[in-house]
């Protein structure tokens, strides 16, 4: 929970689109991509002010 009068940062990752005809492997690839993207931007956000 942030402190009052602290600084905050919102970060967007690159958009991820999923093709309608994706195979199971491709769906899993997109899932991993989303997971990695969220990990990456969250780490960036946590380090942003340090």
Partner 1 sequence: MDSLIINKITITVVPFLASLLIKFLARTMKLTYINFEKIRDDWQRGKNVIIAFWHGRLMFMPVMYKGNGVSVLVSQHRDGELIARTVRRFGISSVRGSSTRGWFGGVKGLLREIKKGKDIAITPDGPKGPRFNAQMGIIHLARTTGLPIIPITFGASKKKPLRAGTPLSCLTHFQKAYLYAALPLP
Please report, as ranges, the residues that interact with partner 1 according to CB under 8 A.
1-20, 22, 27, 30-32, 34-35, 37-39, 41-42, 44-49
Closest CB 34 distance from partner 1, rounded Å? 5
Closest CB 29 distance from partner 1, rounded Å? 9
In the chain, the largest separation of any two C-alpha atoms, in whole Å, equals 48
Place of tokens 């005809």: 21
- Mapping DSSP to helix (H, G, I), strand (E, B) and coil, where does residue 27 land? helix
Closest CB 36 distance from partner 1, rounded Å? 9
Q: How far apart are CA 7 and CA 9, in angstroms?
A: 7
């Amino acid at each position: 929970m942030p402190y009052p009068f602290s600084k905050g940062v919102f970060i967007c990752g690159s958009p991820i689109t999923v093709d309608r005809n994706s195979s199971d492997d491709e769906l899993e690839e997109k899932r991993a991509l989303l997971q990695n993207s969220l990990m990456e931007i969250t780490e960036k956000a946590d380090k942003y002010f340090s």
